Amino acid sequence: MLTAFARAFKTPDLRKKLLFTLGILVLYRLGAHLPVPGVDYQKVQTCYDQAKGGQGLFGLVNMFSGGALLQITIFALGVMPYITASIILQLLTVVIPRLEALKKEGQSGQGKITQYTRYLTVALAVLQGTGLVAVARSGALFGNCSVGNQIVPNQSIFTTVTMVITMTAGTCLIMWLGELITDRGIGNGMSILMFTSIAAGFPSALWAIKLQGKLIGGWLEFSLVILCGLAMVALVVFVEQAQRRIPVQYAKRMIGRRSYGGTSTYIPLKVNQAGVIPVIFASSLLYIPALLVQFTGSHAGWARWIQANLVKGDHPIYMATYFLLIVFFAFFYVAISFNPEEVADNMKKYGGFIPGIRAGRPTAEYLSYVLNRITWPGSLYLGVIALVPTVALVTLNANQNFPFGGTSILIIVGVGLETVKQIESQLQQRNYEGFLR
């Protein structure tokens, strides 16, 4: 592995791309520590320390921003507006015929969809920035912090607008940095920035577990978490790489004196076809009732029931609801992202068929049958991985941003595998020798 890294840095083009990517990441982490104008930074740090690194309703968004959200920095919103905009556009592509037609136009149509994603990102950044400022001004951002309502001393309209514009500009800058990495660096830019944000919280989360441990000065709990993390990484790598390959045979065609086709290939259907999207959907949906109670301040029976059952992550009702939502959204997202009928029609158009299956409708039914069968283990796997932080919260008294589990480990491993594959392909183009031997 180390020799492979050395070979990557010895290749001039690849070295420039790697150094460019690292430089962008340094700028990104620098922006995550620059406070927004109008915020009392000392009081924010006091409340942040009392909150133990982001417990509560904003834990997921804080993780995606690398801890910048609860410190109210210029990159407080992180990559979440862009992720949300991308998911919304992907869902609308299935519903709106115009977007579906753009998707089929190839590179030009994809460029239009990317432009729409940028506009929607800015709109969501303004909306989320306004909400964050409102929550910070009310003192509800850090829950029971004694100085939570004093972190924005000047609550004038000018200060509020300045804070919202600053955070929106920070989101636009993040989007631009991500596109720079995609164009001139290594890997997908937004995925790399997300990877960096999550990985930045690993050292502090692991050290917090050591400090909270009681056996052998906390080193025993620390070692158990490291072993658990390695096992989780191995499991995620195994499942993320697992796929069902549907064999496809193309008929041989004679055009003039030349023959075309007659080749064999396959359709790779991943066990976890939905990726990390179901976990994000389920987490976001479970946040809505708690946010509703927090903003309304109601003390009615329904509000007390939500506070008792759907706010604490270690409650059995919360865990069961979270698990079932992940399974549901896994099937939902696979259903809208993979269209068996469209795949079957394309195969029939180009003379392809699955051995033993008739072309057309029988092929679509077979693909749908196989996809449903492999989605079951994929959705159950996502549910189990997502509940690991909750189990750690109960057994180790860890915070809700337990590093090895849930959304964080899925993104870390997924982005890491994709980036390694891109570096490997770059090395194979130049040296005919892979990144991993």
Q: How far is CA 291 from CA 146, 263, 317, 346, 370, in A?
A: 21, 55, 18, 45, 39
38: left (phi over 0), alpha (psi -120 to 50) or beta: left
Strand partners, 259: 254
66, 32 in Cβ contact below 8 A?
A: yes
In CATH terms, is domain 1-200 a member of 3.30.70.100?
no
CB count in 10 Å sphere of residue 8: 20
pTM value > 0.95: no
Full pLDDT tens readout for the chain, 437 residues: 556 667 777 778 888 888 999 999 999 988 888 888 888 888 887 777 766 544 455 666 677 777 777 788 888 888 888 888 888 888 888 788 888 888 878 788 888 888 999 999 999 999 988 888 888 887 777 766 666 667 888 878 888 899 999 999 999 999 999 999 988 888 888 888 888 888 887 887 777 777 776 667 677 877 887 888 888 888 888 888 888 888 888 877 666 667 666 678 888 888 888 888 888 888 778 877 777 776 666 677 777 787 777 766 667 888 888 889 999 999 988 888 888 888 888 888 877 888 888 888 888 999 999 999 999 999 999 888 888 777 766 665 555 555 666 678 888 888 888 888 888 887 777 665 555 55
147/155 Cα distance (integer angstroms)? 15
Class of domain 201-404: mainly alpha
Going from N- to C-terminal start, the domains of the chain cover 1-200, 201-404
- Examine domains 1-200 and 201-404 and report if their fold is the same: yes
